[in-house]
Structure 1
Amino acid sequence: MRRLFWMGVGAAATVVVAQRLRTAWHKYTPEGVAEQVEQASLGLVAAARSAVDTFTDSFRTRERDLTSQLLVEPEGGDASAVFRRGRTPGPGAPPTTRARPTGRVDDDEPLYDF
């Protein structure tokens, strides 16, 4: 009976060692290396997305803070209208025209294209 017990323990140990060797062997095959590279790239993409999201949230928060501190809201207007496209410059704003290579100034073409 003792011999049968030790034969069972030896068989179980052999199965465990064989399984670990198979796993270690697969790790260094081309398929195993490809899986490791894929997992690493997925981790890198997740880290990059997280960093971009954190930066974007911080940027928007800081922009909101600065906008509220530095801009005066016009009467009956929206302070965020300053950042909208197609706005017209207010009175006293510098001219928004640019000189053509010929030296001619074209008043229809804006200096900045927001």
Structure 2
Amino acid sequence: MNRIIWMGIGVAIGVIAFRKLTEAQSALGPEGLNRAVGRLADGLFDFADAVRDGMGEREAELRSALGIDTALGGGVDAAIARGRGDAARR
């Protein structure tokens, strides 16, 4: 009876080890590398989008607090429309 129990435990450990090795091998291959790079790129794009959104919100808060007219659209285009194009282009 003891031998059957130990044999079952050994088979279970073997199956688990085989599955872990197969997962590690697929992660190290070209497909795994492509997945990892894709996830990294997606994360960077999401971070950049979050930063841009935060910058836009903060700019709106600052414009509101300073009472700057945003009817012209703001930014470089507004500076050019107001006749300060030379300073904005530098």
Give the TM-score normalised by the residue count of structure 1: 0.61
Aligned to 2:6: 6
Aligned to 1:84: 72
Q: Does 1:44 align with 2:61?
A: no
Alpha-carbon shift at residue 13 of structure 1 (Å)? 0.2
Alpha-carbon shift at residue 112 of structure 1 (Å)? 3.1
State the distance in 2 between where 1:111 and 1:63 align.
Answer: 17
Alpha-carbon shift at residue 12 of structure 1 (Å)? 0.3
State the distance in 2 between where 1:66 and 1:4 align.
Answer: 80
State the distance in 2 between where 1:62 and 1:27 align.
Answer: 47
State the distance in 2 between where 1:51 and 1:111 align.
Answer: 28
TM-aligned CA distance change 1:16 to 1:56, over 3 Å:
same
Cα-to-partner distance string for 1:9-67 (whole Å, 9 max, x where unaligned): 00000011011101111111000000000011111111111111111100110011001
State the distance in 2 between where 1:111 and 1:18 align.
Answer: 70
> SS at the partner of 1:60?
helix
Give the TM-score normalised by the residue count of structure 2: 0.76
Q: Does 1:112 align with 2:83?
A: yes
Aligned to 1:15: 15
Q: How much identity, in percent, do the aligned residues show?
A: 24
Aligned to 2:35: 35
Q: Deviation above 6 Å: which 4+ runs of structure 1?
A: none
Aligned to 1:89: none
TM-aligned CA distance change 1:2 to 1:84, over 3 Å:
same
> SS at the partner of 2:83?
coil
State the distance in 1 between where 2:16 and 2:71 align.
Answer: 66
Counterpart residue identity of residue 64, structure 2:
R
Alpha-carbon shift at residue 84 of structure 1 (Å)? 3.5
Greater relative contact order, per chain length (Cα 8 Å cut-off, separation 6+)? 1
Higher helix share: 2
Q: Specify every segment of 5 or more residues in structure 1 that has no aligned partner in the other structure, as ranges.
A: 72-79, 86-109
